[in-house]
Structure 1
């Protein structure tokens, strides 16, 4: 997703906004367009409300009905980021006069630098979504071959068996080598369009280099991210807390995406500099610990992604492979029923992925574009603020 994709559709910079997109005031009133008119007490209320909303959203994610790391859960996580980013943008707009003052100028510049690093993570995640689509195609072959309206003849079973093996090998490759996906996809270059299948392959793997590492990128996003000191909070009227909060949200969301979805050189050992003095830290820590616990389970330890549906594919593929291996002709009714049940399980996860992948990819695109727009608008406004009157 190149940054230039956003140009032409970008809204007016936040320093020229006539009306904020999302109000973060407790009473939902529209802010004054002159940041100097915002009193210290009003700003304090705004910042407290922002942190409370972040806390409530993470609380909902940690205790909601959607299962952890499912497609539906990941979509809610991205919604959390998008709404929070809008509110962050409005808060900066309403306090423009503070942005040019030290240490706020440094803190906001560091946030924009972190957000740029997050763009590569978004591209890598879209590569992972495309890889799941390739698994989806193999699952579809199995479902067609073993359709319950057909007799389980030997030819159909052989076709399903080949697709199951291809699927298992593809998922195993991702476990054995984090860079395998990038190496395979790169051979599907834009010039190699003779094969119709490859022509429809929409991977964006050329957006990151072969040496790119999701683990190292996450570490770079979290580098030098520390809770603000008291004097920084005082000198910025509390805005240092706003930037730290949004930086922590950015890091957590990117970390959770890398945990859930296959991407190049996944790794979860990232330091989260969380301090109990902020109300959102508790629910964020709960989620962090739950995801780490999931990654340490015996059957998830070497998974190519912790997304719930990926785990279901792995389990169903193993069962289907064992069943097809055990088939002997003439087929017994008991064995046929076992195969039909296994096909139904595979069909269920297939439908979930079929319905959820496109909306998920659109959200990842939206996160990418929103980060680009917010950074462009912020730097543009800072440039105007620093420029001659």
Structure 2
């Protein structure tokens, strides 16, 4: 799936450019809503049924494709963002937009937590590389195996330990702080030990209900997509959280975009239920690394010099598998981290746009 960028433009921007008056009539609103719904539906449809077949659920390429979907949806959402004129006619829009601002703040914290979590995964990869290098030594000696064993012990702890005090925390902010500087680490100076990514997800879902009118529908759709993506990131990457909710969103299955989004939630939910892992860390590459790491640890514990040839051949296959995982993660984690930062910056910009619209309505 090719990444959606602003250079590609927006299929709604042309429509908006032809509207002379800011007072968009009801028919135009419905048309734009239909375009936006179809766009979200198509992006998720391509994501869940790609050609050629997709990458494993929660793998790095799979996560990157999901972020491409989010970026594409966010680009189009800007074109259907309610105007000041619409808000003045429909006061309830101010409420749903204010609630979206709060969700964006929580999403910014989650993005920070995920970026820091990816750093911890990089550390795990380095430990795996130490073990691989040691076990590739030939002839295999006791010293090399001991080095590998120490690295593997640290690796397995890093993959299984509860994550505490690692990521940036929450906090509240007044809506109209347009001059505030937003960047990674900006909100991390006062980290609360009670901050939890899972609690942030639960708070984001609390007031997220299907609206009755069409005016608030784009905000609801984009909020749902945002919460879904943040939840997936929390499940995949080690974050400051005690647990990951299985299925946080109640999405409208009777709508095509909702049905496709539910498909994603159910797939990830199965992984969450099946692994019972605390603090996230369900990334497919991490799961493979843990499995191979356990096998290699068993080998180091029973190794006696000189090792048996058959046993060394068997462990060589596992070492090659771990080496392949490390190579994939070396590039993939950098790309994923860069993409999460891009999502962060987009959230900052859309937040400022919403604040601007609300301020003009005062």
* TM-score in terms of structure 2 length: 0.85
Q: Is the 8 A contact 1:219 1:270 kept in 2?
A: no
**1:329 lines up with 2:314 in the alignment:** no
CA RMSD of aligned residues (A): 2.5
The alpha-carbon distance between structure 1 residues 262 and 163, as it changes in their structure 2 partners (threshold 3 A), is: same
Tell me how far 1:332 sits from its aligned partner.
1.8
- Identify the match of residue 350 of structure 2 among 363, 369, 374: 374
- The residue that corresponds to 1:248 in the other structure is 224
- The residue that corresponds to 1:80 in the other structure is 69
- Identify the match of residue 315 of structure 1 among 284, 288, 291: 291
Tell me how far 1:384 sits from its aligned partner.
3.0
- Identify the match of residue 179 of structure 1 among 158, 164, 177: 164
Cα displacement string for residues 275-311 of structure 1 (whole angstroms, at most 9, x for unaligned residues): 23422111111221121112222xx222642111011
- Identify the match of residue 198 of structure 2 among 202, 215, 232: 215
- The residue that corresponds to 1:159 in the other structure is 147
**1:52 lines up with 2:38 in the alignment:** yes
**1:102 lines up with 2:60 in the alignment:** no
**1:301 lines up with 2:284 in the alignment:** no
**1:168 lines up with 2:156 in the alignment:** yes
The alpha-carbon distance between structure 1 residues 314 and 172, as it changes in their structure 2 partners (threshold 3 A), is: same
Cα displacement string for residues 117-170 of structure 1 (whole angstroms, at most 9, x for unaligned residues): 11111111112101101101101111221236x321221111111100111122
Partners of 1:222 and 1:353 in 2: CA distance: 32
Partners of 1:180 and 1:373 in 2: CA distance: 28
The alpha-carbon distance between structure 1 residues 73 and 110, as it changes in their structure 2 partners (threshold 3 A), is: same
User: How many residues in Structure 1 have an aligned counterpart in Structure 2?
Assistant: 334
- The residue that corresponds to 1:40 in the other structure is 26
Tell me how far 1:373 sits from its aligned partner.
1.2
1:100-249 correspondence to structure 2 within 5 Å: 100=88, 101-147=90-136, 150-174=138-162, 178-179=163-164, 181=166, 208-229=191-212, 233=213, 238-249=214-225
What residue ranges of structure 2 are gaps of 5+ in the alignment? 1-5, 169-184
Q: Is the 8 A contact 2:81 2:218 kept in 1?
A: no
Partners of 1:31 and 1:104 in 2: CA distance: 23
Partners of 1:20 and 1:32 in 2: CA distance: 19
Q: Is the 8 A contact 1:124 1:205 kept in 2?
A: no
Partners of 2:69 and 2:8 in 1: CA distance: 18
Partners of 2:277 and 2:102 in 1: CA distance: 32
The alpha-carbon distance between structure 1 residues 46 and 341, as it changes in their structure 2 partners (threshold 3 A), is: same
- Identify the match of residue 326 of structure 2 among 350, 356, 364: 350
- The residue that corresponds to 2:251 in the other structure is 274
Q: Is the 8 A contact 2:201 2:248 kept in 1?
A: no
SS in 2 for 1:239: coil
Cα displacement string for residues 91-114 of structure 1 (whole angstroms, at most 9, x for unaligned residues): 127x44213341112111211111
The alpha-carbon distance between structure 1 residues 35 and 323, as it changes in their structure 2 partners (threshold 3 A), is: farther
Partners of 1:142 and 1:285 in 2: CA distance: 40
What residue ranges of structure 1 are gaps of 5+ in the alignment? 1-10, 12-18, 184-201
* TM-score in terms of structure 1 length: 0.79
Partners of 2:209 and 2:76 in 1: CA distance: 22
SS in 1 for 2:194: coil
Tell me how far 1:37 sits from its aligned partner.
6.3
SS in 2 for 1:285: helix
Tell me how far 1:227 sits from its aligned partner.
0.4
- The residue that corresponds to 2:174 in the other structure is none
Tell me how far 1:350 sits from its aligned partner.
0.4
The alpha-carbon distance between structure 1 residues 120 and 208, as it changes in their structure 2 partners (threshold 3 A), is: farther
